[in-house]
Amino acid sequence: MTFRGSIIPVLCVIAAAATIVILPQVVELFTIINATIYASMAILTLSLALVWGYCGIICFGQTAFFGLGGYAYAVAAINFGDSTPAIALALLVPTLFAGLLGYFIFWGRVTDVYLGVITLTVTLILYKLFNATAGDAYHIGKAALGGFNGIPATPLMNLPWDRKTTLEPEDIWYVAATLLCLAYAFVRWLLSTSFGHLMVAIRENEHRTELLGYDPRRIKLAAFTLGGAMAGASGILFANCVFVSPTMFSLLYTAQVIVWVIIGGLGTLVGPVFACFLLQMITAELGRLNWLNPNFVLGIILIAFVLLMPSGILPTLQRIYDKFSWPILLRTERRRPAQ
């Protein structure tokens, strides 16, 4: 039984359950809101960990779906006056957009670095587009897009079909943390299915998978669309913590998500989520100091990990554990009496 296969999932379940329940009881409101932001960004990171780490799709545009989910939620919630249909629409918009974009990419046989460039370009186009929506002329129904300022009056979630009962920040934390746990459990289950095995097979050798009779385009499109839906859900939660603005499509958020996946460990799930929480806390603490640029420190951390721990945190811990555990297991086997 390996370290990754037994100890880490159990510890994650225990830590997650304890944190979800205890955190609102022991910290102040500001910390709860920050924790909710971290959880929402962790779902975004998990989406890239699935698409890139397990299917080999170098997508640098997860923030495009993240931003579309946030904007679709804000616009729909303002027009409907109810977050229930707004959430459904906000999940549908980035999912359809990811499916449409993925269709043209994968049926066009775009791969490797070109795929990364296209997805990054789409994200930057959306960033420029929403930045240019200032003025009264740019609105969707009752929702003014607001240009660079975004939509500060983003409505908070309410109970399903009960627009009069708005969720408090503590309630939104429970929603975000629970959704993160469910997303993690779903992705782990997905990877254990035949579809998940095909994703990994495509990552390892796409041509061989195709020769075995499978269509990699369909599998990659399904994975890409699923990643877009997860990123959209992350954008909805983020909109309920702060507010939507063009910065959701910015290069800064795009780079941060990529850094979290690389540092956590490409081809793992726990690693990127852990790196997401850890680096966001470090960045927030550095921001309070006001004498050191958090992005500069983040760049140094990335360079250090690429040089010293290129496989990421979790795979490195796995190797360290295996290195020290095997001699102990061998000594134990030698001491056992013969049967």
Q: What is the pLDDT of residues 82-135, one digit of tens each?
A: 999 999 999 999 999 999 999 999 999 888 789 999 999 999 999 999 999 988
Retrieve residue 327's tokens: 């001699």
Count of Cβ atoms closer than 10 Å to residue 201 Cβ: 19
Count of Cβ atoms closer than 10 Å to residue 54 Cβ: 21
Model confidence at 6: pLDDT above 60: no
Residues of the chain above pLDDT 90, percent: 60
Count of Cβ atoms closer than 10 Å to residue 168 Cβ: 12
Lookup result for tokens 């020769």: 211
Model confidence at 4: pLDDT above 50: no
Q: How many domains does the chain have?
A: 1
As a whole number of angstroms, the distance between CA 295 and CA 285 comes to 12
Going by C-beta distance under 8 Å and a sequence separation of 6 or more, which residues neighbour residue 110? 118
- pTM for this predicted structure: 0.89
Residue 125 in contact with residue 249, Cβ under 8 Å? Answer: no
Model confidence at 330: pLDDT above 50: no
Model confidence at 248: pLDDT above 50: yes
As a whole number of angstroms, the distance between CA 34 and CA 17 comes to 18
Going by C-beta distance under 8 Å and a sequence separation of 6 or more, which residues neighbour residue 317? 3
Domain that holds residue 178: 3-335
